[in-house]
Amino acid sequence: MTALPLIDMSDLSTDVARAIDVACREAGFFSIIGHGVDPSLQIRLEELCREFFALPDDEKREIEMARGGRAWRGWFPVGGELTSGVPDIKEGLYFGEELPFDHPRVLAATPMHGANLFPDHPVGLRETVHDYIEEMTRVGQLVLGGIALALGLEQTWFSRRLTHDPLLLFRVFHYPPTDGTRWGVAEHTDYGLLTILGQDAHGGLQVRSPEGWIDAPPIPGSFVCNLGDMLERLTGGLYRSTPHRVRNVSTEDRLSFPFFLDPSWDALVERLPIVARPQHDEGAAQRWDRTSVHGFSGTYGDYIVGKVKKVFPALATAPD
């Protein structure tokens, strides 16, 4: 593999399902076109986010993540997020599904549930983020439908069984220019089910292949999709959650827009009935974190809270 597969999602035909199957088995990554997202929404989001990140840190701190409590929403500064215990060279905004104060999970102080934090400036960021989350949810369910067909399941299998009430996580990351010697984000895999990544015009994403690391430069009008650890778990390792990393190779600021469509909070992420349980997880020793994705038991909520606490240790004891 020298480049990510490019798949047109405008028609979930047998050929498209076959292409998705090959990509999930061999790469764990692929790019999509034909997704139906209005380019003007992406342009508007990027412009507004650039305005926000250009603000002084004191102004951005008005929506710092500590103010979001257990909802884990808001802004964090460069170095405020860890990968494998090492600070990332990026700052970011955390968003999720907008829930009212009287929602049952908010009343129960369920982690990662609640209201988003938005700044006073730039005007319009709130509405644009909400629109983008809605569109990415649609695209994510479309891609999962294609993955279901690739696995020989009904197209609606994921939306009926695992993502009927999905955990929605949306991040905006700002990578400042560096001397090129440090990683914006070190090698890692994504925790959940499916990631849909929007990139600006500057490269930096690299994906690990059997032949070594390959670049995944932005393709206009496309999104990058990659499988998370839970899809590898579901398929018993048939589909791959592939390590990747980011270094801002540009002399300009880089923005990325990862959206995570994850299982429902109370879902039990068990193996698909079509997949046999591996007798030994031989791949664990080669994983970036030396951890098996097949050994967990419990709900997805239990799983993801444990992961996020490692990324933001200071929020592990955040007040309700």
pLDDT band at 86 (very low <50, low <70, confident <90, very high): confident
For residues 5-19, give the mean pLDDT. Answer: 97
Structure tokens at 6: 């490019």
Instruction: List the one residue out of 292, 314, 258 whose CA is nearest residue 29.
Output: 258
Delimit the domains of the chain by residue range. Answer: 6-315
Q: Extract the runs of DSSP E, i.e. beta strands, from the chain.
A: 6-8, 29-33, 74-76, 82-83, 86-87, 91-96, 166-175, 185-188, 194-199, 205-209, 212-215, 223-227, 244-246, 254-264
The span from the CA of 234 to the CA of 113, in Å, is 25
| Tokens 């380019």 belong to residue | 39
CATH superfamily of 6-315: B-lactam Antibiotic, Isopenicillin N Synthase; Chain (2.60.120.330)
Give me the amino acid identity at 179: D
Chain segment 98-119, per-residue pLDDT in tens: 999 999 999 999 999 999 999 9
Torsion (CA) 19, 20, 22, 25 in degrees, nearest 10: 180
**Which residues are within 8 A (CB) of 201 and not within 5 positions of it... i.e. 6 or more apart?**
218
Chain segment 170-214, per-residue pLDDT in tens: 999 999 988 777 789 989 999 999 999 999 999 899 999 888 999
Q: Which helix (H) or strand (E) holds 311?
A: helix 300-311
Q: What's residue 287's pLDDT?
A: 54
pTM comes to: 0.92
Q: What's residue 249's pLDDT?
A: 79
